[in-house]
Structure 1
Amino acid sequence: MKLSTRSRYGTRLMLEMAIHFDEGPIHLAEIARRQEISVKYLEQIIIPLKKAGYVKSVRGPKGGHMLAKPPHAIHMDEIVSLLEGGIGITECSENSNGCERSSLCHMRFLWKEITEAIHERLHNITLLDLVRMNSEES
Structure 2
Amino acid sequence: MHISTKGRYGLLAIVDLALNYSGEPVSLKSIAERCRLSEEYILQIFIILRRAGIVRSIRGAHGGYLLAKDLSAITVGDVLTALEGPLAPTACISGKSSKSCNRFEHCVTRILWKKIMVGINEVTNSITIEDLVSSCRDRQAVNHDLEYYI
* More off after superposition, 17-26 vs 29-38: 17-26
Distance 1:136 1:102 in 2: 46
- Counterpart in the other structure of 1:136: 138
Structure 2 counterpart of 1:41, one-letter code: Y
Runs of 4+ residues deviating >6 angstroms? none
- Counterpart in the other structure of 1:37: 37
Equivalences for residues 95-106 of structure 1 within 5 A: 95=95, 97-98=98-99, 99-106=101-108
3-state SS in 2 of match to 1:66: strand
> What is the root-mean-square deviation in Å for CA atoms of aligned residues?
1.4
Structure 2 unaligned regions, length at least 5: 141-150
Distance 2:47 2:60 in 1: 19
3-state SS in 2 of match to 1:24: coil
TM-score of the pair, normalised by structure 1? 0.93
Preserved contact between residue 21 and residue 70 of structure 1 (Cα < 8 Å): no
Shift of 1:51: 1.0
Structure 1 unaligned regions, length at least 5: none
TM-score of the pair, normalised by structure 2? 0.86
Equivalences for residues 54-133 of structure 1 within 5 A: 54-95=54-95, 97-98=98-99, 99-133=101-135
Post-superposition CA distance 1:7-63 (Å, at most 9, x none): 011111111111123432111110011011111111111111111111111122221
Give the fraction of aligned pairs with identical amino acids, expressed as a percent. Answer: 38
